[in-house]
């Protein structure tokens, strides 16, 4: 069986260093907001060439706290996409704001800047572009819109650690950027974790208070916050993995190139934006008979997943937002045809070739799709 993902494989290359980092934390006797978190925050900020990184408990909290740090809440609208993990929209609502969902670019599956600008109202305060699948969103157009309409931009970088656009890392275009360190991410912890990066010292200071009950010092609470702290163990593990991120992203690009070459003409392969350098958190292809393709791959012991089969605006939990089937046609068409192929560190060239052979057996190159 070739699984869709294998987090254990990504850990194996530096297991001894991770074990040593864990032992260092256990021996320290300090497990929350200590030296490991401080060091990781400094290293993560330096990796992005920004001034501040603030570790939090997970990526959803990172988005919520970024909104709260900017005083975005009740009565405010935040524009984002429905083609994303539901966490993006969940965070907006947890901050008290209203999510406004817009359609995606049909090639890259990221936020369509024209759709975003058309959705701006007098209540709009922010835009959250999602760098989906490791593909940078059209940040130049989005920042232009934000500047003209005086809007905050918070980048959702949960799937795009190390991705670049025009030579610049994602997360450095907007006013703030949120990251997840869920174990399957390109930079993954061995549990939950998240961070926000920014060049704004005021935002950073407020984020540090908000993540710990609004404390400015021990037992002194200047405002209402929440409990969202990156723990020392996860920070120590992330410190081991961060120096390997670029090399692992390079391997993902090698796998993607193999898929691109081998699957051309069989399925619709990912289209990379001009100037973009995707990190292929996911390798997502498209076929009009997607479900039959999944069944064929399963019969060949090849694992797949769909990211995401039901867009947020059609989820029962978000029916009260007022969207209906047909509201976001580009999103809905994509969700009916996309499938994610195996993509992870530890996937061998032979495994990739086997996946390609299985896909081509179902969809031979050069045969017109229905």
Three-class SS state of 61: helix
Tell me: domain 7-102+110-243, CATH 1.20.1250.20, correct?
A: no
Q: What strands, in cross-sheet order, belong to the sheet with 276-277?
A: 168-169, 164-165, 276-277
Please write the tens of the pLDDT for every residue from 293-312.
999 999 999 999 999 999 99
Question: Given pLDDT bands bounded at 50, 70 and 90, which one contains residue 10?
Answer: confident
Average pLDDT over residues 41-52: 98
Instruction: Using alpha carbons, list the distances in angstroms from residue 159 to 88, 170, 339, 356.
Output: 12, 11, 16, 24
Q: What is the three-class DSSP state of 179?
A: strand
pLDDT tens for 253-271 read 999 999 999 999 999 999 9
Taking residues 56-62, what's their average pLDDT? 98
Rounded Cα distance between 130 and 136, Å, is 8
pLDDT band at 370 (very low <50, low <70, confident <90, very high): low
Side-chain-side CA neighbours of 342 within 13 Å: the count stands at 28
What is the pLDDT confidence band of residue 368, given thresholds at 50, 70 and 90?
low
pLDDT of residue 369: 58
The pLDDT of residue 12 is 84
3 state SS of 192: coil
What is the mean predicted confidence (pLDDT) over 330-357? 98
Angle 83-151-229 from CA coordinates, rounded to 5°: 70
249 is written with which tokens?
Answer: 């992203």
What pTM was computed for the model? 0.97
Question: What integer pLDDT is reported at residue 190 of this predicted model?
Answer: 95
Q: What residue spans in the chain does CATH classification 3.40.640.10 cover? A: 7-102+110-243
- Rounded Cα distance, 81 and 115, in Å: 10
Please report the pLDDT score of residue 306 as a whole number.
98
Q: What are the strands, taking DSSP E only, across 294-344?
A: 338-341
Tell me if residue 59 falls in helix, strand or coil.
helix
pLDDT range class, residue 121, cuts 50, 70, 90: very high
Average pLDDT of the segment spanning 340-360: 98
CA–CA gap between residue 52 and residue 251 (Å, rounded)? 28
Asked whether residue 87 carries a pLDDT value surpassing 70, the answer given is yes
Chain-centre distance for alpha carbon 101:
17
The chain-wide mean pLDDT, for the chain, equals 97
Contact predicate 230/57, CB 8 Å: yes
The percent of residues in the chain predicted with pLDDT above 70, rounded, is 99
- How far apart (Å, rounded) are the C-alpha atoms in residues 341 and 305? 7
Region label for 265, one of left (φ > 0), alpha (ψ between -120 and 50) or beta (otherwise): left
* Sequence ranges of the chain with CATH classification 3.90.1150.10: 244-362
pLDDT score of 153 more than 70 = yes
Strands 124-127 and 276-277: unpaired
Q: Where residue 367 falls among pLDDT bands split at 50, 70, 90?
A: low
Residues 234-244 have a mean pLDDT of: 98
Interatomic CA distance for residues 181 and 203, integer angstroms: 21
How far is it, in rounded angstroms, from Cα 206 to Cα 209? 5
pLDDT at 9: 86
Domain 244-362 in this protein, CATH class: alpha beta
Residue 11 binned pLDDT confidence (cut-offs 50, 70, 90): confident
pLDDT recorded at residue 365: 79
Q: How far apart are CA 33 and CA 235, in angstroms?
A: 9
**End-to-end CA separation in angstroms for the chain:** 29
Using an 8 Å Cβ cutoff, are 26 and 362 in contact? no
Cα torsion angle, 211, 45, 240, 155, sign: positive
Which residues have C-beta within 8 Å of that of residue 296, sequence separation ≥ 6? Answer: 358, 361, 362
Beta-bridge mates of residue 220 = 217
Q: How far is Cα 5 from Cα 345, in angstroms, rounded to an integer?
A: 9
CB 37 within 8 A of CB 21: no
Using a 10 angstrom Cβ sphere, with 0-12 exposed, 13-18 middle and 19 or more buried, the burial of residue 71 is exposed
What average pLDDT does range 176-204 have in this prediction? Answer: 98
The pLDDT, as a whole number, for residue 140 is: 98
**At residue 114, what are phi and psi to the nearest 5 degrees?**
-65, -40
pLDDT at 217 over 60: yes
């Amino acid at each position: 069986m070739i699984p869709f993902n294998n987090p254990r494989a990504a850990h194996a290359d530096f297991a001894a260093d991770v074990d040593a980092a864990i032992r260092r934390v256990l021996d320290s006797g300090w497990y929350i907001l200590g030296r490991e978190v401080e060091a990781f925050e400094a290293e993560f900020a330096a990796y992005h060439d920004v001034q501040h990184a603030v570790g939090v408990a997970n990526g959803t909290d990172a988005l919520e706290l970024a909104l709260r740090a900017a005083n975005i809440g009740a009565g405010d609208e935040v524009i984002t996409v429905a083609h994303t993990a539901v966490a993006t929209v969940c965070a907006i609502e947890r901050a008290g704001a209203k999510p406004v969902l817009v359609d995606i670019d049909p090639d890259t599956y990221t936020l369509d800047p024209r759709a975003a600008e058309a959705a701006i109202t007098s209540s709009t305060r922010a835009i959250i572009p999602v760098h989906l699948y490791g593909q940078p969103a059209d940040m130049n157009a989005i920042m232009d819109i934000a500047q003209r309409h005086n809007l905050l931009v918070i980048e959702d970088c949960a799937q795009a650690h190390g991705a670049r656009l025009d030579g610049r890392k994602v997360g450095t275009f907007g006013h703030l950027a949120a990251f997840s360190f869920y174990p399957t991410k390109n930079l993954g912890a061995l549990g939950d974790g998240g961070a926000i990066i920014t060049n704004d010292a005021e935002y950073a200071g407020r984020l540090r208070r908000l993540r710990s009950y609004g404390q400015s010092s021990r037992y002194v609470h200047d405002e209402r916050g929440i409990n969202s702290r990156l723990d020392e163990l996860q920070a120590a593990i992330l410190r081991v993995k961060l120096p390997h991120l670029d090399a692992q992203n390079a391997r993902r690009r090698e796998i993607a190139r193999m898929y691109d070459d081998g699957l051309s003409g069989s399925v619709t392969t990912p289209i990379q934006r001009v100037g973009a350098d995707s990190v292929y958190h996911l390798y997502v292809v498209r076929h009009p008979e997607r479900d039959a393709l999944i069944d064929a791959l399963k019969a060949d012991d090849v694992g797949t997943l769909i990211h995401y089969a039901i867009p947020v605006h059609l989820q029962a939990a978000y029916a009260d937002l007022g969207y209906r089937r047909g509201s976001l046609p580009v999103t809905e068409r994509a969700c009916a045809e996309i499938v994610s192929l195996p993509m992870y560190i530890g996937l061998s060239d032979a495994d990739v070739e086997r996946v390609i052979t299985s896909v081509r057996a179902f969809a031979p190159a050069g045969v017109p799709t229905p």
